[in-house]
Chain A
Amino acid sequence: MSDSKIQREKVFEDVVRIMAETLEISPEEISADLSFNSDLPFDSLQLYEFVIDVEETYNIRLPDEVLDEVKTVSDIVDVIIKLADK
């Protein structure tokens, strides 16, 4: 398995764990294609709880302008990999 694939899987696992803790749901209920707007039951406070936890885990910044472009779980994984690489 390539390094980038391992890294992507690790980030996805972290995202699912943080998301499941924030939303108090089972990690099994979360998949890459789920949409933040229509599938995941985030209210705005929970969304920022999740965002701040991700920022602190990866030491990155996710301002609202970046979050505006994030539609799915897979998108947030892409953004984290991109920003954590810098």
Chain B
Amino acid sequence: MKSEEEQMSEALVRIFENVVLTEEKSLQAGYFKDLSIAEMHTLTAIGPYDARTMTNTAEDLGITTGTLTVAIDRLVKKGYVHRERDKRDKRIVRISLTHTGKLACRMNSKFHRVLAKHILAGYDEKDRKHLLDLVDEVDRYVEQQLKRYDSSENVRATARQVAKDTTKEKN
């Protein structure tokens, strides 16, 4: 029989992979076949409303502005993103979604909402609340782990610290 840790670990990895895979397949089968998952996530990070700066969007996606520039070049060419220089400060580049970009972004949000709706539909109100509390805790824990790497300039030092803490917990 699998240990609780194995069950939890396998389920977490599987859920993550299957959500991304389902999202990818739904894209391929739908109206936005020319978009990759990474491109769709870039559109989501820009969002359907206000224009955003390249710097803020790159920060949200956890990538460099250089990497984002390459992605935005492609999305502008495909007609999903509009890019312009700030009228007052020419150094600032602002990006926003075109009508088609907004459409793709809204359809993708709908995909996530429908998935969540179907998962929650199997539970009564009390169990839904309990499930959401548990998912929230898992989310917070994983987020904390990510922050340990974010706040450190030296990733190796953080990795060593994590390994040390884990050994301590085991002993």
Contacts and interface: CB of A to CB of B under 8 A. Distances in A.
Interface of A is mostly: helix
B49 A52 contact: no
B103 interface: yes
Interface stretch (B1-9, B105-113, B154-162): B105-113
A30 B106 CA distance: 25
A48 interface: yes
Given A52-B106, A61-B49, A64-B109, A45 B99 contact: no
B31 interface: yes
A52 B110 contact: no
A64 B117 CA distance: 13
Contacts of A48: 102-103, 106-107, 110
Interface residues of B, number: 11
B107 A44 contact: yes
Interface of B is mostly: helix
Contacts of B106: 48, 51-52
B99 A64 contact: no
Given A45-B31, A64-B113, A52 B107 contact: no
B103 A52 contact: yes
A78 interface: no
Nearest to A56: B99
Contacts of A61: 49
A45 B113 contact: no
Given A45-B31, A61-B49, A52 B102 contact: yes
Interface string B86-113: 0000000000000100110011011001
Interface string A29-57: 00000000000000011001101100010
A60 B71 CA distance: 29
A52 B31 contact: no
Given A52-B102, A52-B106, A64-B109, 10 more contacts: A44-B107, A44-B110, A45-B107, A48-B102, A48-B106, A48-B110, A49-B103, A51-B106, A52-B103, A56-B99
20 contacts: A44-B110, A45-B31, A45-B103, A45-B107, A48-B102, A48-B103, A48-B106, A48-B107, A48-B110, A49-B103, A51-B106, A52-B48, A52-B99, A52-B102, A52-B106, A56-B99, A61-B49, A64-B109, A64-B110, A64-B113
